[in-house]
Amino acid sequence: DTASCRWRIMAPFLWELPILMVVQLLLSSRKETEERTYMADATLMVNGTQYRRPEQPTVVVCIDGGDPAYLEHGVSTGIIPNIARYMKEGFYTVAHGTLPSFTCPNNMSIVTGCPASVHGVSGNYYLDRKTNQPVVMTGPELLRVPSLMSEFSRHGARVASVTAKDKLRKQLQKGMDLGNGSVSISSQFADRCTLAENGLADALGYVGRPLPDMYSADLSLFVLDAGIKLLEERRPDILYLSLTDFIQHAFAPGHPEADQFYRDMDTRFGRLEELGAIVALTADHGMNDKANDDGSPCVVWLQDILDAAFGKGTSTVICPITDAFVGHHGALGGFVRVYCHADLTAEQVIETIRDVPGLEQVLSREEVADTYDLPFDVEGDVAVLGDARTVIGASEQDHDLSGLKGHRLRTHGSVYEADVPIVLSRPVSDLYTRRAEAGRLHSYQVFDYVLNGTVN
């Protein structure tokens, strides 16, 4: 009959069946192991540190200008209950920030887990020795190593990076894979987002807030609200939220405007936690009053001093705090670099300015790179750091201080603004507690602490 006939025809091929089955099994198990290694790839090595893949969303917030003094005041007056609880029940320490205590170098240290000597960004500006032109240091090409956001996004994690200022956004986003729902936006340009460039179109509509003013607390609160919305809807594995220091430049701890800002932030941190996130707070730098007793800014005009001593054009003072938002600090900070031209030597400069009142450290290129772990190649010939009260400017005529509008000058850049808090909403393991007790942490260890150190 036809059945036995078919059987006789097929019989010689039947021996192949188990082989086919084995091949099939191997193929499918390989696919499964691939999937499993992807999921079980519990750690990721970034710039020499092994990081645990987060089991729940992990938010790192960089409170720009978030001097520990604001937290101490907030805790003592009871206006930041969530942060106070983290400090008590989770983890709190005061860590070393990166010098110079400016925004870009510190954000890059935090997100790469490295000192500036490794990531290469040591200011907002440096002088290109070949062209003698100041170069903005916020270009992504100047970041020498990948960030955690970039590496995690390229290894299957969903990442969100939200910043106040757009200049930082491009550097933070370098190498990020925006497929897989990852997002990188700034509140400054939230009205210009595209799917291709930012991983999100219509950020204003998404967050449900109007475009915030450049100089406002809202520029920062928008960042936190975007983080909350992303957590509600996309549940990223890692969120990096970087704010702006407009409020801290203008108002000391205890001023009603500063208090309100810290209250508003605290509520939002509570919301992030409520949505299931582990929250880590740090700062890029602190903030200090830099005014004379009469309220005028306490400034050493270094370019004017050098021009008087050696003649115009023999040196260039670069204030690496300079950026597009100078209104609230007049481009004045506690750290500048001097580049010598023609025959002028670093020794001559050091000799001339070392005893100027208010200048606390006058260091050679080698000394400053060594002492503060900075990239040697972009360092000036001389680095100058102010004391706690003094800022250093270039030429008096080149700084526009009208933006201060009668406020006392509050700014940063020196060692006195390099203390930054690290606050975690969870406690850390014994090992990490011991490490923190053994020596002061650096803010570039915050991702290590929150991803590897926290326990339930």
Residues in touch with Zn ion (CB under 5 A): 64, 103, 245, 284
Q: Which residue is nearest to Zn ion (CB)?
A: 103
> What is the rounded distance in angstroms from the CA atom of residue 156 to the CA atom of residue 174?
16
Q: Which is nearer to Zn ion, 102 or 126 (CB)?
A: 102
> What is the rounded distance in angstroms from the CA atom of residue 116 to the CA atom of residue 381?
18
> What is the rounded distance in angstroms from the CA atom of residue 101 to the CA atom of residue 353?
22
Q: Which is nearer to Zn ion, 219 or 340 (CB)?
A: 219
With CA atoms as reference, report the closest residue to 388 among 418, 422, 354. 418
In angstroms, give the least distance from the CB of 183 to Zn ion.
22
With CA atoms as reference, report the closest residue to 84 among 272, 239, 263, 256. 263
Q: Which is nearer to Zn ion, 173 or 244 (CB)?
A: 244
In angstroms, give the least distance from the CB of 384 to Zn ion.
19
In angstroms, give the least distance from the CB of 75 to Zn ion.
22
Q: Which is nearer to Zn ion, 142 or 247 (CB)?
A: 247
In angstroms, give the least distance from the CB of 45 to Zn ion.
29
Q: Which residues pair with 136 in a beta bridge?
A: 125
> How many whole angstroms from its chain centre is CA 73?
24
Q: What letter does residue 428 receive in the DSSP assignment?
A: B
In angstroms, give the least distance from the CB of 248 to Zn ion.
7
Q: What letter does residue 161 receive in the DSSP assignment?
A: E
Residue 185 near residue 261, CB atoms below 8 Å: no
Q: Which is nearer to Zn ion, 326 or 356 (CB)?
A: 326
> Three-state SS for 239?
strand
* Cα separations in angstroms, 138 against 125, 266, 434, 451: 8, 29, 36, 27
In angstroms, give the least distance from the CB of 245 to Zn ion.
4
